[in-house]
């Protein structure tokens, strides 16, 4: 069974995290969930529910405190199949890019980089400062996938929920979790 880490920070975009979790919970894998303190607050503000409501009754999820550096996902010997940080604040991205593993989320991301495990970072900021872009470049140069939540306009989706789910589908695909949530480009059909 695959082990996937999901990190949720205090950046906007919690609805994307909610859709990602709902899909991951429907699959044959274990989700290791880490939220920053602001991630938990923003999740509640944007989705209208506490994170426990999203995971209610799901047996394949393990929740860790962001301060728990003794958690198994803090070590490369545990072995995970990938990590998604959605949404990822530019502060969290900066810490990871500069090797600061002072929280479980940043430590788990550092482990993914050192073990060459897929790490998908979905930064939520606009416009990006030059400093943020430099940190994202550093992450990319070290193996992370940088995926700002940008919709695929070619699929002509107009509904907000469909657009969000499509974005999540692309991120999960990049993480190695195959899904049917997004439309793959198959050329123009004129």
**DSSP letter assigned to residue 153:** G
Query: Stretch 78-82: mean pLDDT, rounded?
Result: 96
Name the nearest CA neighbour of 117 among 158, 78, 156.
78
Say if CB 87 and CB 13 are below 8 A apart: yes
Beta bridge partners of 84: 6, 120
Q: What is the pLDDT of residues 55-65, one digit of tens each?
A: 988 999 999 99
Token pair in block for residue 145: 């996938």
CA pair distance 159, 146, nearest whole angstrom = 25
Radius of gyration (C-alpha) of the chain in whole angstroms: 16
Give all strands (DSSP E) within 78-137, no chain letters.
Answer: 82-88, 119-123
Paired residues of 30 in beta bridges: 3
Q: Global pTM?
A: 0.94
45 Cβ neighbours under 8 A, 6+ residues apart: 14
Which tens digits make up the pLDDT trace of 97-149? 999 999 999 999 999 999 999 999 999 999 999 999 999 999 999 999 999 99
What is the predicted pLDDT for the residue at 190? 63
């Amino acid at each position: 069974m695959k082990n996937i880490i999901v990190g949720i920070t205090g950046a906007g975009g919690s609805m994307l995290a909610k859709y990602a979790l709902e899909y991951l919970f429907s699959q044959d894998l274990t989700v290791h969930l880490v939220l920053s303190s602001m991630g938990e607050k923003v999740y509640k503000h944007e989705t209208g529910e506490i994170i426990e409501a999203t995971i209610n009754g799901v047996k394949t999820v393990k929740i860790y405190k962001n301060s728990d550096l003794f958690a198994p996902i803090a070590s490369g010997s545990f072995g995970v199949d990938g990590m998604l940080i959605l949404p990822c604040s530019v502060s969290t991205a900066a810490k990871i890019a500069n090797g600061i593993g002072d929280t479980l989320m940043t430590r788990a991301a550092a482990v993914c980089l050192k073990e060459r495990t897929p790490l998908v970072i979905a930064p939520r900021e606009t416009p990006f400062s030059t400093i943020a872009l430099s940190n994202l470049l550093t992450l990319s140069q070290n193996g992370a996938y940088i995926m700002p939540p940008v919709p695929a306009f070619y699929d002509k989706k107009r509904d907000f929920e469909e657009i969000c789910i499509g974005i999540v589908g692309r991120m999960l695909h990049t993480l190695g979790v195959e899904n049917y949530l997004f439309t793959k480009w198959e050329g123009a059909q004129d």
